[in-house]
Structure 1
Amino acid sequence: MKNVNNMISKKRYSIEQFINTESLLRASTSFDNQYTLYASDRSGVYNAYVTSMDGSTEPRQLTHSTSNAIFPVTFLPNNKSFIYESDEGGNELTHLYLQNELGEIKDLTPGNQVKAAFFDWNKAYTHFFYESNKRDARYMDLYEMDIDSYASKLVYENNAGYHIHAISSNKKYIALQKPITANNSDIYLYSAEAGHEHLSPHEGDVQYIPLTFDEQATYLYYLTDENNEFLQLKRMNLSTKEVEIVINETWDIVMAKFSPNYQYLMYALNQDGKIALHVLDAKTNEQIPLSNFPNGQLNSVSFSKDETQMALLLNSSDSPTNLYVYHFKKQEIKRLTDTLNPEINQVDLVKAKVIRYPSFDGLSIPAIYYKPHIAEGDKVPALVWVHGGPGGQSMANYSPLFQYLANHGYAILAVNNRGSSGYGKTFFKAADLKHGEVDLADCIEAKSFLSETGYIDENRIGIIGGSYGGYMVLAALAFEPDSFEVGVDIFGVSNWERTLKEIPAWWEANREALYKKIGNPYTDTAYIRSISPLFHADNIKKPLIVLQGANDPRVLKVESDEIVEAVEKNNIPVEYIVFEDEGHGFTKRENQIKGYKAIKEFLDQHL
């Protein structure tokens, strides 16, 4: 048997080289159809950048934060000023900021413990709508702000825990979603004249997710899995209440919206671990062919205001996110960025493959598999990756951590255990009130697939995950202590009783739905403690590394503090890394480098 350090890859790269690959988020277009605004971490922290849509200019940095991540959301009509969102050290209390053409910055939504998010423009682009919990920390209200005076007024007061999804262009209607459980929700239509109207009376578990109105506010477009395993796009005539199917696919439709002048209707399809974009002629409902489109995964899309172009962010498992512009008349797509570190040759990276394996009860479990370059006759260690959630999904995205580990000889199987989204409503709710049990069993069964490849060392398989996936790491070590050789916990829940009681105030609308998925910490205390690794930490006997953001509002730092302290009492190797300037996720390059390097060094030593 050969050690991982002797494994052969085409070329080895450092974590610094992988992290110095640029990461892009949130593309939007200017009002004059000339520029694209987006977020990039090229400077080491996410900042706002701009580039011309025809590719004639190099990207230019517009903000210069060295601490807090900045995520631009829209230009103003003057095409010089723009609005961005930013929080403090990852605490998720985002404010809206305006940066004008002189570089001057104004906090548009000031206040302590206030969270705000950009919502949409009005039809004339003289005002924009935003959500804020400044009136009641539990609920997001809808406001309208004038871009001349920056005075705002309350448009909709949210006193019942609705999610605000759309406002009609004539401002007559607001479409609301009311979550009941993670599998069941309702649509309400609000107007000043009629108040709240329930549009989706039903029995049983059915999802209803409002998306958008047509230009005349005749129809409300929404997603639903009513009488179907997957989410379909339907529309309701708001006068007659007649419903018709707009798009029916054999996978979930996860997004749909109109172009600025309603010429096109675009939708995104979650197709077996990949988000694919489709564009329809809004009048005929016919598909618009997207010629010469790269085989990439959609991250973001924004139409130019004249609807001749769209800016997209696309990536794949072996290619980081890049900015593209598609021209409809020319049927051409142009890549505007090259984000992969030039020191890395793409042929040295690994392409992910979608696989399936049977679980303990025969249920087919989908997973994304990253196979390293392996010399003939060698056996390599492997990691089972568990995504966040509950109810998240691993997709064939570019991951610098996965590529770094695969480049150094580790196979990675990103499991979509039962309870994951993207594979139908039956699969999604199959782990409800059984978390840390059946979903954990799915992860353990992944070892059989890995062992049967013939090139994975079955005695060197670890488990790794973040957030809910971090919980699954701790659950594996505590409840099935012989199942994996090591655990890598990235801000995972150790005590569900505390986490469910201490969820952020602005999650109030989802509190009951989360209780019905995991359990109620006030009435089901014995059960909640039975699935919480902290109360069973004396069973942990395999090496563990824990990474945590000090400002995390979802999984509090005490969750990691206490599990580390408990495992240390077992005289088991345990490492603990805390990032004082991060929240629920690590956005700064220097922190990613430190954390990912520590993970590999831990694995090299213990796996």
Structure 2
Amino acid sequence: MTTSENQLFLLNMKTAEMTEISKPGYNYSAAGFNNEETEMYYTTNQGGEFSRLMSFDLDSKTSEVLYKTNWDVMYSNLSENDTYRVIGINEDGATKLVMWKNETQQPMELPDIKDGNIVSAGFSESEDLLRLTVGTSKTPNNIYVYNLKTKELKKLTSTLNPEIDPDDLVSAEVVRYKSFDGLEIPAIYYKPLNATASNKKPALVWVHGGPGGQSRVGYSALIQYLVNHGYAVLAVNNRGSSGYGASFYKMDDRNHGEKDLQDVIYGKKWLASQDYINKDQIGVIGGSYGGYMTMAAMTFAPDEFEVGVNIFGVTNWLRTLRSIPPYWESFKNALYEELGDPNTQDSIRLKKISPLFHAENVKNPIMVLQGANDPRVLQVESDEIVEAVRQNDVPVEYMVFADEGHGFIKKENEIKGYRQIRLFLDKYLKKEQVNLPDTGLKD
């Protein structure tokens, strides 16, 4: 298994017969059986750039395409009595649902929910009710129930903090820009409500995790918090991101910190071209792999970004790849395939693209957030990059969370971390007079 291929098998529990469905070089994901157990369903990108929904006949052992489009099919499920099918599609960074009656396979009309994106659906046992999970970039997901007979739609939850006015939040939009080689890069953009040519705003390029993740249209508490405080945010889907076809996904293999970094830099150039953005106040921020890209930008392109915020990010690929625990063996093999094996000649390139070994290049302020219990990015990695950058007499804000791993689990830590990020940006990007408080979490 790698990040771009895996295997799918069918096991007969009575006879112990094992049938491989998959072919080498592609991704597969199971999607259940029909009630009669005559067909199995799965998704795969075999035969095209995007994943399609397939049916596998258990008698003839043959597969056929059930549904395909020019985007990835993410999932599919059947209703209790196989009357209906729901298909979830990753369409340009947002989830689109297709629902049909199986006897006709003609798409059915779903309820129109203002400012809402239906991200998933499930049927009641009676097949009369449809549970809808609905999200937007302005509110966390909520649950609705839709009566298929009466067409009545009822909202069951309200997850946005009542102290927050949704009108103060911004709707995300999909934008595209050309990178250094002409490749079109998709991105999710959040523009402050009061940004104008006469009221210019600072901006951030946001880089998702992964490698191979995707920034999608949806609610992000940190992004909305920053935008609400006057920062435009461009969440780039650099080459190597998922959701835009198999070829795009593989474009950064053994090329990390190079062409994908240029995609991030050209995102900054796109921001700088907007007349309401202060082109001298653009930073870079990201978590996990996005944290690596942040430090790569600050190290290998030190004049491009005014600040960098590294959230649980890799800075030493040699250590990170060598320290993957044994219970992540398949994940380790996948990363070795995509990034390189640190125990071979690949180590030369991995050292070249690791910010830690080039920390003397960093000249602008950085912030690093680290979980003390992180099994992926060990704390010593962040300790070392922080110490190395401080040798440059560069301002460094460092937060270590004693009870966190690779990302935030505890809400109180998330709130403290986000507030500190905003204050750091206010001080070093907006150039405001800010005294960063001692949270008790810093080193």
- TM-score between the two structures when normalised by the length of structure 1: 0.68
Match of residue 328, structure 1, among 125, 148, 151: 148
> Judging changes above 3 Å, is the alpha-carbon distance between structure 1 residues 198 and 325 closer, same or farther for their aligned structure 2 residues?
same
Bigger RCO of structures 1 and 2 (CA < 8 A, at least 6 apart) = 1
> In structure 1, the residue corresponding to 2:6 is in which secondary structure?
strand
- Determine if the alignment matches structure 1 residue 606 to structure 2 residue 428: yes
On the 8 A contact 2:142/2:157 being kept in 1, the answer is yes
Counterpart of 1:594? 416
Query: Where do 1:446-525 residues align within 5 Å?
Result: 446-523=267-344, 524-525=346-347
Cα separation, 2, equivalents of 1:295 and 1:220: 35
Separation (CA, whole Å) in 1 of partners of 2:244 and 2:371: 31
Structure 2 residue 162 is matched with structure 1 residue 342: yes
Shift of the 260–420 alpha-carbon distance from structure 1 to 2, 3 Å rule, reads same
* Corresponding position: 1:545 with 2:354: no
Match of 1:234 in 2: 54
Q: Pick one of 169, 186, 210 that aligns with 1:389.
A: 210
Q: For 1:287 and 1:507, how far apart are their aligned partners in 2?
A: 41
Deviation at 1:311, TM superposition (A): 2.6
Residues 453, 375 of structure 1: CA spacing in aligned structure 2 closer, same or farther, 3 A cutoff?
A: closer
| Aligned mates of 2:199, 2:374 — CA distance in 1 | 41
1:137-192 deviations in Å (ceiling 9; x for gaps): xxxxxxxxxxxxxxxxxxxxxxxxxxxxxxxxxxxxxxxxxx2x322233222235
Aligned residue number for residue 167 of structure 1 = none
**What's the CA shift for 1:343?**
2.5
Equivalent runs, 1:154-173 vs 2, <5 Å = none
What letter is aligned with 2:377?
Answer: V
- The residue identity in structure 1 corresponding to 2:394 is I
Alpha-carbon distance in 1 for matches of 2:126, 2:111 = 20
- Tell me the amino acid that sits aligned with residue 248 of structure 1: K
- For 1:201 and 1:584, the matched residues in 2 are separated by 33
**Quick one: which amino acid aligns to residue 176 of structure 2?**
R
Separation in 2, partners of 1:298, 1:596: 28
1:582 aligns with 2:404: yes
1:369-384 equivalences under 5 Å are 369-372=189-192, 373-384=194-205
User: Quick one: percent identity of the two aligned structures?
Assistant: 51
- Alignment correspondent of 2:33: 213
For structure 1, the 5+ residue unaligned runs are 1-178
Q: Deviations over 1:463-499 (max 9, x none)?
A: 0000110010011111111121100000001111121
Paired residue for 2:381, among 559, 566, 585? 559
Query: Offset at 1:194?
Result: 4.6
**Aligned-partner Cα distance in 1 for 2:131–2:425:** 40
Q: Which amino acid aligns with 1:344?
A: I
Q: How far apart, CA to CA, are the structure 2 residues paired with 1:265 and 1:551?
A: 42
What whole-Å deviation, never above 9, does each CA across 1:15-60 have from its counterpart, x for those lacking one?
A: xxxxxxxxxxxxxxxxxxxxxxxxxxxxxxxxxxxxxxxxxxxxxx
CA contact (8 A) 1:293 1:333 kept: no
Maintained 8 Å contact 2:97/2:120: no
Q: 1:221 to 1:434 in 2, by over 3 A?
A: same
Match of 2:350 among 528, 532, 555: 528
Cα drift, residue 271 of structure 1: 0.7
Superposition CA RMSD, Å = 1.7
Number of paired residues? 426
Change (3 A) 1:299 1:466: farther
Cα drift, residue 227 of structure 1: 2.2
Which residue number corresponds to residue 398 of structure 1? 219
The letter for the 2-side match of 1:548 is: Q
TM-score by length of 2: 0.92
Aligned to 2:20: 198
1:231-260 per-residue CA deviation (whole Å, 9 max, x = no partner) reads 110111122122211111111110112223
Counterpart-to-counterpart distance in 2, 1:388 and 1:325: 33
Question: Quick check: which one's helix share is greater?
Answer: 2
Partner of 1:243: 63
Distance 1:538 1:330 in 2: 67
Alignment of 1:86-485 (within 5 A): 179=1, 181-192=2-13, 193-202=15-24, 205-372=25-192, 373-485=194-306
User: 8 Å contact 1:316–1:397 — kept in the other structure?
Assistant: yes
The offset of 1:333, in angstroms, is: 2.0
Unaligned runs of 5+ in 2: 430-443
User: What is the CA–CA distance in structure 2 between the aligned matches of 1:336 and 1:314, rounded to whole Å?
Assistant: 11
Structure 1 ranges of 4+ moved more than 6 A:
none
